[in-house]
């Protein structure tokens, strides 16, 4: 369990890009953890298909230095796709994206449509920004200091000073 004010612990400053990258890697049956003292990431399966490393699980539970990163259920990629469809200026393209989301296999059909409509680069840039926003909110929620690796960002995360 994470202890916010663990005596003697100094929290590392993390890069939002690293957190966002880990969010993009989120998958079924795996949890990702950040060790806030070292900045290292650990992966732990839920035990359904792969047995968890008991030593690692015990270390995560006992240390108070680990934070679980948001998983795919916390991220809600479907909402990111809806937001993108809403942001598309061309009403015809926007309608096609919403139609893809409303039918069977919405993820597959949405991805097919963004390629067909030549919106794939725009969507993946939008998605990356959404992951950066989620990473920033996650860090702020736990008062975890963060910064950007690069001053160049198209997501509006222009402040590169470490946040505390």
Residue 149 has pLDDT above 90, yes or no: no
Assess whether 65 and 141 both reside in one domain: yes
Task: Convert 38-63 to b/e letters by CB count within 10 Å (16 or more is b).
Answer: eeebbbbeeeeeeebeeeeeeebeeb
In a domain, 9, yes or no: no
Query: What domain range includes position 120?
Result: 75-125
Token pair 């968890």 in the structure block, residue: 52
Task: Assess whether 95 and 63 both reside in one domain.
Answer: no
Confidence of residue 158 (pLDDT cuts 50, 70, 90): very low
140 CB-near residues (< 8 Å, 6+ apart): 163
Residue 31 shares a structural domain with residue 110: no
Q: CA–CA separation, 70 vs 59, rounded Å? A: 19
Q: Could you report the per-residue pLDDT of 75-133, keeping only the tens digit for each? A: 999 999 999 999 999 999 999 999 999 989 999 999 999 999 999 999 999 999 999 99
101 and 59 in a common domain:
no
In terms of domains, do 32 and 52 share one? yes
Residues 141 and 113 in one domain: no
Q: How confident is the model at residue 48 (pLDDT cuts 50, 70, 90)?
A: confident
Residue 100 burial (10 A CB sphere; 0-12, 13-18, 19+): buried
pLDDT for 159 beyond 50:
no
d(CA 132, CA 70): 12
3, 5, 66: which is closest to 35 by C-alpha? 66
Q: Are residues 65 and 136 in the same domain?
A: yes
Distance of CA 130 to the CA centre of its chain: 8
Domain for residue 83, yes or no?
Answer: yes
Query: Could you give the number of structural domains in the chain?
Result: 2
Residue 50: band (very low, low, confident or very high) from pLDDT cuts 50, 70, 90: confident
Stretch 36-47: mean pLDDT: 89
The pTM of this model reads 0.85
When pLDDT is cut at 50, 70 and 90, the band that residue 45 belongs to is confident
């Amino acid at each position: 369990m994470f202890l916010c004010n663990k005596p003697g612990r100094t929290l590392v400053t993390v890069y939002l890009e690293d957190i966002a990258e880990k969010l993009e890697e989120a998958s079924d049956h795996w949890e990702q953890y950040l060790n806030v003292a070292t900045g290292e990431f650990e992966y732990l399966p839920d035990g359904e298909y792969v047995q968890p490393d008991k030593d690692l699980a015990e270390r995560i539970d006992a240390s108070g230095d680990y934070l679980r990163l948001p998983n795919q259920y916390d991220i809600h990629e479907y909402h990111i796709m809806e937001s993108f469809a809403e942001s598309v200026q061309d009403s015809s393209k926007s309608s096609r994206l919403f139609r893809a989301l409303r039918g069977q296999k919405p993820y597959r059909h949405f991805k097919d449509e963004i390629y067909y409509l030549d919106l794939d680069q725009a969507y993946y840039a939008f998605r990356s920004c959404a992951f950066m926003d989620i990473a920033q909110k996650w860090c702020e929620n736990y008062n975890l200091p963060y910064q950007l690796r690069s001053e160049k960002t198209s997501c509006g995360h222009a402040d590169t000073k470490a946040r505390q």
